[in-house]
Amino acid sequence: MSDKKLKIKLLPSGEIQMETQGIKGKKCLDYIEVLKKLAGVNITDTKLSQEYYETETEIINTENINID
Amino acid sequence: MSCTVVALPYALAYTIGAVVLGLGKSSQEMGKLISTLNTETFELDEDIENEDVHEINASHFIEKDFETAFTDRDLLIKTLEEHGVHSITEYDGKIFGKVDNFTLNFEKSSVDKPYNLRITCTNSDNAEEKVQDLSTEYVLNVQENAYLSIVEKLKENNMQIESETVEDDNTIVLTINIE
């Protein structure tokens, strides 16, 4: 199961809030467009979380190979 | 005296009929006058001047104007129907309806603006409450509409909903797996 998620909150006031989880750096801003397309909404406010300022690191498993 | 009536919407006809009641006309006479509204031209009694009609109208009916946040015609109609508003009619971009003792008239000043609401009634005691009720129901319909739209588009894009919950305050929370 992916650790990257979108949490979309539909408030009874008609307002829609979206939060990204597990998406680090500026990539999370890409999902603003996703929300626009999903709900056909105008974005009125954006708040950046700590994850925005973190960088996504890719963990690569390597084997140590001894070359004689 | 004569005047020309061109395609009066039901809500306007209701107002004119009620004004006649205010003049102390019998129901038979009122019925006769209302029936003339279906023709292009009708005669008013000679002793009724236009000024009298306006004066009586002003003294018996209250008009209250409200700004609303309603922008979507379909959602507004749905809200009105669910709220028990009857005799809903549309004419020239305006939406009319009746509920309790209120006649509702929704009209936009321009296409991209929300509707303004004019309530005509004889007693405006509960007018604000009625507008508040309509507003509450309208935004719930906005929420429902957004939910249905999002779920449909998630399916179209093969995006998986991991969980769906409704919180105590009726907030709907969708959690979606990505990648």
Identify whether A16 is part of a domain. yes
Query: A with B: how many residue pairs have Cβ under 8 Å apart?
Result: 66
Read off the tokens for A56.
């996504």
Asked if residues B134 and A22 have their Cβ atoms less than 8 Å apart, the reply is no
pLDDT at B70: 92
Under a CB-based contact definition with an 8 Å cutoff, are residues B5 and B42 in contact?
A: yes
Domain-embedded: residue A58 = no
Segment A9-49, tens digit of pLDDT: 998 888 888 888 888 777 777 888 887 788 777 777 777 77
Q: Which of B150, B154, B178 sits opposite A4 (nearest CB)?
A: B178
**Quick check: B27 contacting A, CB < 8 Å?**
no
3-state secondary structure of B110: coil
Closest CA to B136 of B60, B68, B38: B68
For residue B138, the chain A residue with the least C-alpha distance is A14
Residues of A in contact with B154 (CB under 8 A): 38
DSSP structure string for chain B:
-EEE-----HHHHHHHHHHHHHTT--HHHHHHHHHHTTSSEEEPPTT--HHHHHHHHHHH-EEEEEE-----HHHHHHHHHHTT-EEEEEETTEEEEEETTEEEEEEESSTTSPEEEEEEES--TTHHHHHHHHHHHHHHHHHHHHHHHHHHHHHHTTPEEEEEEE-TTS-EEEEEE--
Residue by residue, pLDDT tens for chain B (179 residues) are 332 222 121 212 223 333 222 233 334 444 444 444 444 444 445 555 555 555 555 558 889 999 998 999 999 999 999 999 999 999 999 999 999 889 999 999 888 889 999 999 988 888 999 999 999 999 999 899 889 989 998 999 888 899 999 999 999 999 998 86
| Two structure tokens written together for B39 | 């023709």
Q: Looking at the domain assignment, is residue A17 inside a domain?
A: yes
Residue A68 within any structural domain of the chain: no
Contacts of B173 in chain A (CB under 8 A): 7-10
Angle at B171 between CA A29 and CA A9, to 5 degrees: 10
Element (H, E) at B3: strand B2-4
Residue B92: exposed, middle, or buried by beta-carbon count in 10 A (0-12, 13-18, 19+)?
exposed
- Short-list A17, A10, A8, CA closest to A43: A17
CB distance B153–A38 less than 8 Å? yes
Nearest one of B87, B100, B109 to B127, comparing CA atoms: B100
User: Is residue A28 domain-resident?
Assistant: yes
Domain region containing A47? 5-53
Write down the pLDDT at residue A46: 75
Q: Which pLDDT value is given to residue B151?
A: 92
Q: What pTM value is reported for the model?
A: 0.65
In a domain, A60, yes or no: no
In a domain, A45, yes or no: yes
Q: How many domains does chain A have?
A: 1
Hey, which residues 153-172 in chain B have their CB within 8 Å of chain A?
153-154, 162, 169-172
Give the per-residue pLDDT at B99.
93
* Residue A62, in any domain of the structure: no
The rounded distance, in Å, linking the Cα atoms of A36 and A46 is 13
